[in-house]
Amino acid sequence: MDNASPAFTLQQVEQVKAGTRALDGISLSVPQGQITVLIGPSGAGKSALLRLLNRLDDPTAGKIRYRGQRINDIPVRTLRRRVGFVFQTPVAFPGTVRDNLALAASIAEVPADKIDDRIGSSARLADIDDELLDRPADRLSGGQLQRVTIARALMTGPETLLMDEPTASLDPETAATIGQTIACLSSQRGLTVVMASHRIAEAKELAGHAVMLDKGKVVEAGPATQLFESSHPRLRAFLSRVG
């Protein structure tokens, strides 16, 4: 399938969480091989949307397709291998960085004789220095640990990474270096990235495609260069407040 066909398509997707309408009639196309950034105020539905895309949650209504296939028709384990998730707050499992990555290999059922290679390539893609591999993961800095989380998500050899504010807990300088890593994964490896971000400078720099959400609805979606120049009043108001 070429990059012109969408990674995800959503049709009239609704998500009600504990009586709150987190997503309200979302219809959207997410392109393949690019970084799509989700922006919008806190509570807009960015996390709720991301969680649907590898079935951490299922929508209460509407249809979602991944690469043309109904997402419910893809076995969950297969989907999660193809579509990885990186959370906002990186979590270290016990043991070294290598142990953390090996654990992901066992979940991903990477053949035993391929595990070392996969650890090496995932660590390299996430820009983790070799010398860090044998350090205890719980002694790493926040930025190093977020790289381990990215490498862990790469262990399954995914086509797509979903990232929920992956740089939110990091200082701006570290956030920028992680942003560069994410940009390389997309531009050099062709990975599709769907990422929620509250850093507008980061969103502008990384996004090929952008979606603004507010109150569970799409305010505007399109190529990032157009979206950030859009004269839509709701978008302008948001950007002038946070930008």
Q: How far is the CB of 145 from ligand ADP (least distance, A)?
A: 21
Q: Between residues 105 and 162, which has the closer beta carbon with respect to ligand ADP?
A: 162
Residue 111 DSSP label: -
The reply on whether position 235 binds ligand ADP by CB under 6 A is no
Q: Which of residues 149-208 bind ligand ADP (CB under 6 A)?
A: 196
Tokens of 158: 């995914």
Q: How far is the CB of 46 from ligand ADP (least distance, A)?
A: 3
- Which positions ≥6 away from 131 have C-beta within 8 Å? none
Q: Which of residues 3-22 bind ligand ADP (CB under 6 A)?
A: 17-18, 20, 22
Residue with tokens 């399109």: 222
Q: Between residues 24 and 99, which has the closer beta carbon with respect to ligand ADP?
A: 24
The reply on whether position 47 binds ligand ADP by CB under 6 A is yes
Q: Taking Cα atoms as reference points, which of 50, 29, 36, 44 lies closest to residue 242? A: 44
Q: How far is the CB of 211 from ligand ADP (least distance, A)?
A: 11
Q: Between residues 119 and 196, which has the closer beta carbon with respect to ligand ADP?
A: 196
DSSP, collapsed to helix, strand or coil, labels residue 103 as helix
Q: Which region, judged by CB under 6 A, interacts with ligand ADP, from 3-11, 41-49, 111-119, 227-235? A: 41-49
Cα(42)–Cα(38) distance, integer angstroms? 11
The reply on whether position 240 binds ligand ADP by CB under 6 A is no
Q: How far is the CB of 105 from ligand ADP (least distance, A)?
A: 30
Among 40, 90, 166, 179, which residue interacts with ligand ADP (rule: CB under 6 A)? 40
DSSP, collapsed to helix, strand or coil, labels residue 99 as helix
Cα(145)–Cα(141) distance, integer angstroms? 6
Please give the helix or strand (H or E) that residue 213 lies within, else none. Answer: strand 209-214
The reply on whether position 44 binds ligand ADP by CB under 6 A is yes
Count the residues in the chain.
Answer: 243
When computed from its CA atoms, the radius of gyration of the chain, rounded to whole angstroms, is 18
Q: What are phi and psi of 27, to 5 degrees?
A: -120, 130
Q: Between residues 137 and 212, which has the closer beta carbon with respect to ligand ADP?
A: 212
Site for ligand ADP, rule CB under 6 A: 17-18, 20, 22, 40, 42-48, 196
